[in-house]
């Protein structure tokens, strides 16, 4: 009888020690920045085609998670129809310990001749990014016949009755494009140069998994 | 025989011994040790402080160094060498070998602000040429919802304030400039917006065999030019009561008085014949008409007619006046806002002239 009592007391003491130690032991929460960055970017990637689009500079200046577009006349055969050209993005997403922001704006687009001969279109894109993950940046061009692409786009226009956006509403197979970044140490605003074939209807700047299509202003 | 009782006693004694040993571990009330981990966050209590050295930062518990990091940041700011931070409790995020310290538990955020979320305000301007004058709408939009007041001023070309208003952003201002001219618009919201815009309110003229003048012209410009359009708007804006317009080498003139609250005013002087009148003859007076953009729309009024050739006047494609030929004699015509087309047709068709007046409201 007594020994059972001693046993119970001993158990109580053990339980106290275990609980006390557990509640006072140092503990830490793990912080996974890579996961946060990935989820912020994939959240943007899944929304990019449904973001609001504007052709007014004032709205692009003020708001974020917005696409700057230009409505241009596209032609398919004898048909002329309006299409939206995506020219700029202001995107922001937050993780717990992370602020992911990317600003892209096509400044100009001009035909150039390549060193080895052959023609290309040089996109000059202003690029600002909140986290320096740029070595992983990949740039592609839409490797598709422009006439065929605009034909499909015209089909979308007929089906929807509103101007479809190049790259955002209709994808295309991608090929790697030549690109270079010029960093600006004082302004934090970098310039991305992309050379794409003149027939490519758009380019894609990819910060995996976020792929951002950009077109040439008309 | 070993009974359950004996096992229980043994276990109890073992537990007591374990409890005694456990008390020797540093899991006691008061300072807790800093765990060595990376990519983790924890809270430290009881006398921890952190000091930045030239090439590392040390976390101290009292005088004992508990951990070392590459650099220490406090509330987003890197510590300078020799600086130390002491707070209780101390929240510490160890990430990539760096220590991010916060005294209030606010989590550190990585990533620079690159202007995407920056406080901003902008003006979206639109113009409407319908109705009297030019109606401008300045839509002030912002992403800062703290009741910032924005004020809008509009000055005319002589620096006179013609309109001002203020409101809490986001807001929209609509105003109308009553007369053609160049206006300066200032949109001012301290620290967010201080922008100047130029508003161009006017009437654009598309001339065919015609030229627009802002002063007298007495030249014989036949046969290239058969219609002279005199823009009188700026005279009325400067406060003239009446003006005298000389139209031909014979110095024939027309005296015109200021219209009441007109947006724009033009005198049209037309010649019907390429070679009949000699120089110093009666040139550019065969049809003289006036186009006034009034509050109710553009009005075409008859001033003077003469000449031996027959000629006709069309307004917006309708025949309103005939000279030396069968046709109407309508001395006024009111056009539909915001444009009017005036066409002169002569017996000598080489002198046919046309002017399309369109009210334009633009900005830059």
At residue B218, φ and ψ (nearest 5 deg) are -115, 15
Q: Is residue B36 within 8 angstroms of chain A, CB to CB?
A: no
Q: Which of B11, B18, B113 minimises the CB distance to A101?
A: B113
Contact B133, B108 (CB under 8 A): no
Q: Which chain B residues are Cβ-neighbours of A91 within 8 angstroms?
A: 116
Any alpha helices (H) in chain A, and if so which ranges?
2-24, 33-47, 57-62, 146-160
Is there a contact between A97 and B108 if contact means CB atoms under 8 Å apart? yes
At residue A161, φ and ψ (nearest 5 deg) are 75, 15
A 84-143 residues inside an 8 A Cβ radius of B: 90-92, 94, 96-103, 128-131
pLDDT digits (tens, 9 = 90+) for B51-104: 999 988 998 888 888 888 889 998 878 899 999 999 888 888 888 888 889 888
Q: How far is CA B76 from the centre of its chain?
A: 35
Quick one: which H or E segment has residue B8? helix B4-24
- Average pLDDT value for residue range B129-158: 89
The whole-chain average pLDDT of chain B stands at 86
Is there a contact between A131 and B115 if contact means CB atoms under 8 Å apart? no
**Residue among B205, B212, B257 at smallest CA distance from B236:** B257
Report residue B336's pLDDT band, with 50, 70 and 90 as the boundaries. Answer: confident
Helix, strand, or coil (residue B4): helix
CB atoms within 10 A of CB B104: 8
pLDDT digits (tens, 9 = 90+) for B179-192: 888 999 999 998 88
Contact A114, A195 (CB under 8 A): yes
* β-pair type (B98-102, B72-74): parallel
Helix, strand, or coil (residue B65): strand
Is there a contact between B12 and A21 if contact means CB atoms under 8 Å apart? no
Is there a contact between B18 and A14 if contact means CB atoms under 8 Å apart? yes
Retrieve residue B74's tokens. 């406090």
Q: Is residue A185 within 8 angstroms of chain B, CB to CB?
A: no
**Residue among A125, A127, A134, A109 at smallest CA distance from A190:** A127
Retrieve residue B147's tokens. 């009741």
Helix, strand, or coil (residue A213): strand
Q: Is residue B41 within 8 angstroms of chain A, CB to CB?
A: yes
Residues of chain A with pLDDT under 50: none
Tokens 């007076």: give the residue. B285
pLDDT of residue A108: 94
Contact B232, B239 (CB under 8 A): no
ipTM: 0.77
- C-alpha span between B332 and B360 (Å, rounded): 23
Residue of chain B whose alpha carbon sits nearest to that of A128 = B114
Q: How far is A50 from chain B (nearest CA, A)?
A: 18
Q: Dihedral (C-alpha) B323, B324, B326, B332: value to the nearest 10 degrees?
A: 10
Residue of chain B whose alpha carbon sits nearest to that of A189 = B114
Q: How far is A173 from chain B (nearest CA, A)?
A: 30
pLDDT of residue B83: 93
pLDDT of residue B30: 47
At residue A119, φ and ψ (nearest 5 deg) are -105, 155
Q: E strands within B169-226?
A: 171-177, 181-189, 193-208, 210-213
- C-alpha span between A86 and B303 (Å, rounded): 55
Q: How far is CA B196 from the centre of its chain?
A: 9
Q: Report which DSSP code applies to B110.
A: B
């Amino acid at each position: 009888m007594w020994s059972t009592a001693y046993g119970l007391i001993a158990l109580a003491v053990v339980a106290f020690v275990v609980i006390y130690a557990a509640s006072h032991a140092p503990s830490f929460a793990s912080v996974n920045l890579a996961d946060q960055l990935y989820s912020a970017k994939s959240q943007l990637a899944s929304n990019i085609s449904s973001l609001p689009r504007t052709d007014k500079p004032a709205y692009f200046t003020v708001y974020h998670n917005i696409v700057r577009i230009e409505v241009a006349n596209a032609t398919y055969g004898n048909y002329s129809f309006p299409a939206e050209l995506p020219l700029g993005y202001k995107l922001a997403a937050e993780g717990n310990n992370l602020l992911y922001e990317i600003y892209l704006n096509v400044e100009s687009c001009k035909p150039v001749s390549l060193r080895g001969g052959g023609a290309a279109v040089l996109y000059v894109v202003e690029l600002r990014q909140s986290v320096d993950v740029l070595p992983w940046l990949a740039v592609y061009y839409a490797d598709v016949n422009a006439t065929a692409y605009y034909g499909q786009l015209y089909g979308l226009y007929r089906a929807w009755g509103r101007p479809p956006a190049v790259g955002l509403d209709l994808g295309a197979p991608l090929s790697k494009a030549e690109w270079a970044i010029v960093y600006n140490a004082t302004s934090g605003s970098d310039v991305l140069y992309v050379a794409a074939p003149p027939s490519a209807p758009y380019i894609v700047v990819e910060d995996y998994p976020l792929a951002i299509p950009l077109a040439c202003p008309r | 025989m070993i009974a359950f009782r004996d096992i229980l006693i043994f276990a109890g004694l073992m537990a007591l011994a374990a409890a005694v040993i456990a008390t020797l571990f540093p899991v006691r009330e008061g300072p807790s040790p800093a765990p060595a981990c990376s990519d983790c966050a924890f809270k430290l209590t009881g006398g921890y402080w952190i000091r930045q050295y030239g090439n590392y930062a040390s976390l101290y518990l009292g005088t004992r160094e508990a951990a070392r990091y590459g650099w220490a940041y406090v509330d987003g700011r890197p510590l300078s060498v020799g600086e130390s931070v002491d707070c209780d409790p101390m929240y510490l995020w160890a990430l990539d070998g760096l220590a991010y310290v916060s005294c209030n538990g606010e989590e550190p955020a990585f990533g620079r602000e690159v202007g995407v979320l920056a406080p901003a305000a902008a003006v979206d301007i639109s113009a409407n040429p319908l109705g009297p004058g030019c109606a401008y709408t300045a839509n002030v939009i912002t992403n800062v919802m703290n009741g910032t007041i924005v004020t809008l001023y509009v000055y005319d070309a002589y620096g006179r304030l013609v309109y001002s208003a203020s409101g809490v952003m986001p807001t929209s201002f609509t105003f109308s400039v009553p007369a053609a001219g160049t206006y300066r618009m200032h949109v001012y919201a301290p620290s967010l917006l201080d922008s100047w815009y130029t508003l161009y309110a006017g009437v654009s003229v598309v001339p065919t065999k015609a030229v627009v003048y802002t002063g007298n012209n007495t030249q014989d410009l036949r046969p290239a030019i058969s219609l002279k359009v005199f823009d009188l708007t700026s005279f009325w804006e400067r406060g003239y009561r009446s003006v005298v317009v000389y139209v031909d080498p014979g110095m024939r003139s027309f005296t015109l008085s200021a219209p009441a609250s007109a947006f724009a005013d033009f005198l049209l002087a037309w010649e019907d014949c390429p070679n009949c009148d000699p120089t110093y003859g009666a040139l550019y007076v065969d049809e003289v008409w006036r186009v006034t953009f009034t509050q109710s729309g553009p009005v075409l009024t008859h001033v003077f007619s003469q000449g031996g050739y027959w000629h006709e006047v069309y307004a917006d494609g309708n025949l309103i006046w005939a000279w030396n030929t069968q046709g109407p004699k309508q001395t006024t015509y009111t056009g539909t806002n915001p444009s009017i087309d005036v066409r002169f047709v002569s017996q000598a068709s080489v002198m046919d002239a046309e002017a399309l007046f369109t009210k334009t409201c633009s900005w830059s």
